[in-house]
Amino acid sequence: MKRINLLPPEQRAKASRERGLLWAILILVAVVVALGLVYVWQNGQVNDKQAELDGLMAETAAVQQQAAALAPYAAIQTTRTSMTQTAQGIYDSRVPWSTILQEVSLVIPENVRLQSLSGTVPATMLPGSAAPPAAAGAVAATPDITFAGTTYTHKDVAEFMTRLGLIPQLSNIQLASSTGAAATGTTGTTSTPTVTFTVTATLRPYLTPPPATVVQGAGQ
């Protein structure tokens, strides 16, 4: 059976407008609900990020506080490292007297008798020295090491000086004096040394200057 709308045209148009308005309201409500849900989700994301940021800032503050508490120890470590390097530099630039004396004992001729040996460290080789290092090839004004002894002939003195030249720590070996004559008399079966000599030498400069620091307690 065919359906027949018995409403007047005015009522049908009104009902159509009301249905369109209802659908518009429903769509608007849906849009508002969707926007509300998006807002709630985004607000939750912002809150989570803010909480994460607050946590990171708290950790950063804690780390900064720990760093501030450890700063004195970092300064102590820096000072310790500097002192260790300075001490190592002083040790490396020391004059090895024990080695020099041992080498002298190895090169001294059998017929040479040392009566005295004196040595000083020049100012340019002292740690913290303000004196400029000696120029290459320059002759020292005063010797650093002095050998005094006796032997039988002047040739023995020359041999002793030649052998001193084999010691790497010594340079500028000079004959200060050599007096007397070759031994002619004997005591029993042994000749008596009659040549008295004095030989001087200088310490070879360092390849690198010693540390520029003042040794604490020096001169006390």
Q: What are 18-36's pLDDT values in tens digits?
A: 777 888 888 888 888 888 8
Distinct helix (H) and strand (E) counts, the chain: 3, 6
Q: How far apart are CA 126 and CA 148, in angstroms?
A: 25
With the C-alpha atoms ordered 27, 28, 34, 38, is the resulting torsion angle positive or negative?
Answer: positive
- Least-confidence region, from 8-17, 134-143, 169-178, 196-205: 134-143
Is the pLDDT at 199 greater than 90? The verdict is yes
> Could you tell me if 208 and 83 are in contact, meaning their C-beta atoms sit under 8 angstroms apart?
no
Q: What is the mean pLDDT of the chain?
A: 79
Residue 142, classed as helix, strand or coil, is coil
Kindly give, in sequence order, each residue whose CB lies less than 8 Å from that of residue 171, ignoring residues fewer than 6 positions away: 201, 202, 203, 204
- Which of these, 168, 103, 116, 125, lies nearest to 146 by C-alpha position? 116
| DSSP state at residue 7 | S
Q: Which pLDDT score is estimated for 189?
A: 41
> Could you tell me if 162 and 120 are in contact, meaning their C-beta atoms sit under 8 angstroms apart?
no
pTM higher than 0.85, yes or no? no
Residue of higher predicted confidence among 89 and 56: 56
Any idea where the domains of the chain sit in the sequence? 9-92, 97-133+140-203
Rg, Å, the chain Cα set: 50
For range 138-149, the mean pLDDT: 79
Fold of 97-133+140-203: Gyrase A; domain 2 (3.30.1360)
- Least-confidence region, from 17-26, 44-53, 104-113, 147-156: 17-26
Kindly give, in sequence order, each residue whose CB lies less than 8 Å from that of residue 93, ignoring residues fewer than 6 positions away: 125, 127, 206, 208, 209, 210, 211
> Could you tell me if 85 and 116 are in contact, meaning their C-beta atoms sit under 8 angstroms apart?
no
